[in-house]
Amino acid sequence: PPINRILNLKQMEDVARKVLSYKALAYYSSAADDEISNLENARAFSRFFFRPRVLRPLSNCDPSTTILGFKSKIPVFVSGAALAKLGHPDGEANITIGAGKTGIIQMVSSNASLSFEQVAASRISPSQPLFFQLYKKKDNKAAEQRIRDVEALGYKAIWLTVDAPVPGNRERDVIAGWEIDDIERLAQGDKAKADQPRKKSDMEEVEETIDTTGTAGALIANDDINMTWTETIPWIRSITRLPIVLKGVQCVEDAVLAAEAGVDGILLSNHGGRQLDFSPPPLEVLYQIRKERPDVFNKMEVYIDGGVRRGTDVVKAVCLGAKAVGLGRPFLYAQSAYGAAGVVKIVRILEREIVTAMQLIGARRVSDLVPEMVQRVDWEPI
Ligand code: FNR
What are 185-210's pLDDT values in tens digits? 665 554 444 334 334 444 444 444 33
* CA 223 – ligand 1 centroid, Å: 17
Q: What is the pLDDT of residue 219?
A: 62
Of ligand 1's listed atoms, the one at least distance from the Cα of 38 is 31
Looking from the CA of 138 toward its CB, the CA atoms found within 13 Å total 8
Instruction: Report which of 342, 376, 317 is spatially closest to residue 74, judged by C-alpha positions.
Output: 317
Which protein residue's CA is at the shortest distance from atom 25 of ligand 1? Answer: 328
For the cut 90, the answer to whether the pLDDT of residue 271 exceeds it is: yes
Is 135 annotated as catalytic? Answer: yes
Is 254 annotated as catalytic? Answer: no
Residues near 246 by beta carbon (within 8 Å), at least 6 away in sequence: 159, 160, 162, 258, 263, 265, 266, 267
SS3 55: coil
* Each residue's pLDDT tens digit, 328-367: 999 999 999 999 999 999 999 999 999 999 999 999 999 9
CA-angle at 110, arms to 233 and 212, nearest 5° = 125
Looking from the CA of 55 toward its CB, the CA atoms found within 13 Å total 0
**β-pair type (70-72, 65-67):** antiparallel
Of ligand 1's listed atoms, the one at least distance from the Cα of 111 is 9
* Each residue's pLDDT tens digit, 125-181: 999 999 999 999 999 999 999 999 999 999 999 999 999 999 999 999 999 988 766
Which protein residue's CA is at the shortest distance from atom 24 of ligand 1? Answer: 272
Is 271 annotated as catalytic? Answer: yes
pTM summary value? 0.92
Q: What is the pLDDT of residue 210?
A: 36
* Each residue's pLDDT tens digit, 17-45: 999 999 999 999 999 999 999 999 999 99
Mutate to test the pocket of ligand 1, among 13, 329, 350 (most ligand atoms within 8 A of CB): 329
ipTM entry: 0.99
Looking from the CA of 303 toward its CB, the CA atoms found within 13 Å total 27
Could you tell me the CA-to-CA distances from 2 to 86, 330, 341 in Å, in that order?
22, 18, 11
Cα separation, 353 vs 266, whole angstroms: 25
Cα separation, 69 vs 62, whole angstroms: 17
* CA 8 – ligand 1 centroid, Å: 20
